[in-house]
Amino acid sequence: MSTASILPTAARGKRFPSIRRLAAWLAAQANGPTEAPIAGLWLVVGFAAVHAVLWTLILVILKTGQDVHMDVAEAFAWGQKFLLGYGKHPPLSGWVAGVWFMFFPITDWATYALAMATLACGLVICWLLALRVVDHRRAFFVVVMLALYPIFNFKGFKYNPDLLQLVTLPLMVLAYLDAFEKRSIKSGIWLGLAGALALMTKYWAVTMIGAIGIAALIHPERFKFLRSPAPWVAIVVLAIAMLPHLMWLKQVDFVPFTYAGDTYSLTDRAMIDDLALGYVGHNLALLAAPVILGAIALVWRPWRLTPFPALARGANSGVNTFQALNVWIIQAVVAIGPPLGALAFHVYIKTDWGIPLFFLVPVALIAIPAVRVRKIALANLTATWLVITLVVLAASPKIVAYELSEKRTAGATYRARSELARGLTEAWHTRFYSRWPVVAAYMDTGQPMTFYSADHPAPLTPNEPWSSGLTSLEEAKRSGFIGICEPGHWKFEECEAWMKAHAANAERMVMTTRRFFLGMPGPATAWNIYIVPPAK
């Protein structure tokens, strides 16, 4: 007889926690015990923090040899001045970046940490939102599903207004669900402020505002809501909160709408159809991961061949169908509306526009009353998240090595813009013994100069009618600037023509940059440089 067989049952249980016990512990923490209701919040905050830290580490490794994305560098540049708008977009993403880099070093890793911190905040807000619709167990399941959504990990490396909307749009939906339930003046104030925050992040928030409006109009309980002060107070508060920005829009002659019209208006019917179809396919593909993994977690019975039944008939006390209907309507509208709008109004719809529009999918699915979420399902999905995250972390160095060996000379990804920024900063200091004030270049070149140069010169984009407001052509000529044109760039001829018109007295030179990583050379890139001295 083996030793194990004669041990008391209790002793055997204490040696190795069973999967059942781990699942029960996780469910208890997610539910928040009656004597400690804050436990569920701390579980979600802790989970979001761990997710952010692990994926920051992963992104730092995966992006080895790459400079930060131009959108990230642009947000940093905006954050150098706290304006009421930045030409193309409202100001909130720039303000957040500005505050972030008051406390963090201006380095690549800090930008990935900013992106992950943004998404971590989004996870916590989505949990609070889910609690308006489902019970604590289902709400935590929703959070883990979101953590498996590629937008919240692989594709979340790029901090920009789209990513920040994963904080402000969930906050707005949360405020709406609160106002729809309470129908009070206070809840209306919060809804109006949340709407203003969303609009101050990106005007694209009107899509979600419209979806909320449609939900409020077609919900069976609409008259109770519409007869209350909440929606009308929200509208007034939103208008008042947006007033400073609206005044700025008037001052700049509504230039963000000029930008949108010039950039995204199309006439090619076939291209419009292809872009809309690509948008739908792209977002469906991204949603496949959390939906499929969530479904497996619901039915998977560890160490048994027979799966759990995922669906069951009858009432479900874990779902608030009153609020679930709001979520279903809102998600349906923001899923269907944008591609149909693009087709109807001949708009170039970018796949990135879907980044903030599908965070309600997990709660919309888990709120289906027939879906059953057992305790073991939380353990299944959380373990899936942890295994995938740790595997990716362990595999990251090999992924980078493969990428560098196969793709380091392809495209613009590995061009050494950071080295160019440092070289140009030294060139300016050598000539003028002062801070480099302005860089004139197209966005994919100029914004990284602002980020990587120790002087953080203000960016000026040639021929751009929607100036960010960080500087002007007149100011650049007065202070002096460095112009950069990249041979082979699709706007190279336009860039050269602009330099000929505005940098006629410039010192011209060609600077070549190349970076080595893991012992392998990156692409050698030549840059046409125009150094315009300060006006005397």
**Which DSSP string do the residues of 215-264 spell out, in sequence order?**
HHHHSTTHHHHHTSSHHHHHHHHHHHHHHHHHHHHHHTTTHHHHHHHHHH
Is 459 a domain residue?
yes
Considering the domain architecture, whether residues 308 and 430 belong to the same structural domain is answered as no
Kindly provide the b/e burial profile for residues 209-234, where b requires at least 16 CB atoms within 10 angstroms of the residue's own CB.
bebbebbbeebeeeeebeebbbbebb
Considering the domain architecture, whether residues 192 and 270 belong to the same structural domain is answered as yes
Considering the domain architecture, whether residues 253 and 336 belong to the same structural domain is answered as yes
Is 75 a domain residue?
no
Number of other CB atoms surrounding residue 157 within 10 Å: 22
Judged by average pLDDT, the poorest of 226-240, 402-416, 441-455 is: 402-416
Judged by average pLDDT, the poorest of 81-90, 230-239, 299-308 is: 299-308
**Taking the model in full, what pTM does it have?**
0.92
Is 100 a domain residue?
no
Which DSSP letter does residue 69 get?
Answer: P
Task: For residues 176-191, give the mean pLDDT.
Answer: 97
Considering the domain architecture, whether residues 306 and 425 belong to the same structural domain is answered as no
- The answer, yes or no, to whether residue 20 has pLDDT greater than 80, is no
Banded pLDDT at 7 (limits 50, 70, 90): very low
Give the integer Cα–Cα distance in Å for 40 and 142: 13
Mean pLDDT of the chain: 90
Considering the domain architecture, whether residues 377 and 423 belong to the same structural domain is answered as no
Considering the domain architecture, whether residues 386 and 495 belong to the same structural domain is answered as no
Domain count, the chain: 2
CA of 126: how far to CAs of 63, 142, 192, 337, in Å?
28, 8, 19, 22
What pLDDT does residue 34 have?
47
What pLDDT does residue 38 have?
63
Q: Which amino acid is at 146?
A: L
Give the integer Cα–Cα distance in Å for 353 and 358: 10
Considering the domain architecture, whether residues 209 and 347 belong to the same structural domain is answered as yes
Domain span including residue 481: 417-532
- The answer, yes or no, to whether residue 4 has pLDDT greater than 50, is no
Any idea how long the chain is? 536
Task: For residues 293-315, give the mean pLDDT.
Answer: 83
- pLDDT one-digit tens code per residue, 467-491: 888 999 999 999 999 999 999 888 9
Is 250 a domain residue?
yes
Could you tell me if 139 and 93 are in contact, meaning their C-beta atoms sit under 8 angstroms apart?
no
Considering the domain architecture, whether residues 52 and 153 belong to the same structural domain is answered as yes
Considering the domain architecture, whether residues 429 and 288 belong to the same structural domain is answered as no
